[in-house]
Copies of this chain bind each other. A is one copy, B any other.
Amino acid sequence: MKAKKTQANTDDMALKLKALAHPARLEILEILKNKCCICGEIVDILPLAQATVSQHLKVLKDAGFIIGETEGTKVCYMLNRIAMDRFKESLSSF
């Protein structure tokens, strides 16, 4: 099955790649690969301000790579395995 590559398709791919294209966001994914984390834990690990981490998390969430589950006042972030696998699959044609 070889899907025809539409413009929208390419744009979406570029957006996802852009979401990944930052060292801090790659590290966040690396962290979330092993375990779910609340935002604060990630802030403790990375040398970045809370606002910055939150911003990066938003980028990853908007791109669909992570999911955030609110538990009280905390938000537990986890990798979206499905989305990540689908993304890698769509890269395989290159």
Using CB atoms and an 8 Å cutoff, list the residues of chain A in contact with chain B.
Answer: 5, 7, 10-11, 13-15, 17-18, 20-23, 25-27, 29-30, 33, 84, 88, 91-94
Contact with A14, one of B7, B14, B26, B88 (Cβ below 8 angstroms): B26
A78 to B30 CA separation, bound complex (whole angstroms): 32
The 6 tightest CB contacts between A and B, nearest first, are: A17-B21, A18-B21, A14-B23, A21-B21, A17-B20, A10-B23
List residues of chain B with CB within 8 A of the CB of A33. 93-94
A20 to B93 CA separation, bound complex (whole angstroms): 14
Contact with A29, one of B20, B84, B94 (Cβ below 8 angstroms): B94
Contact with A13, one of B13, B15, B26 (Cβ below 8 angstroms): B26
List residues of chain B with CB within 8 A of the CB of A27. 10
> Taking CB as reference atom, which chain B residue is nearest A26?
B10
> Taking CB as reference atom, which chain B residue is nearest A91?
B88
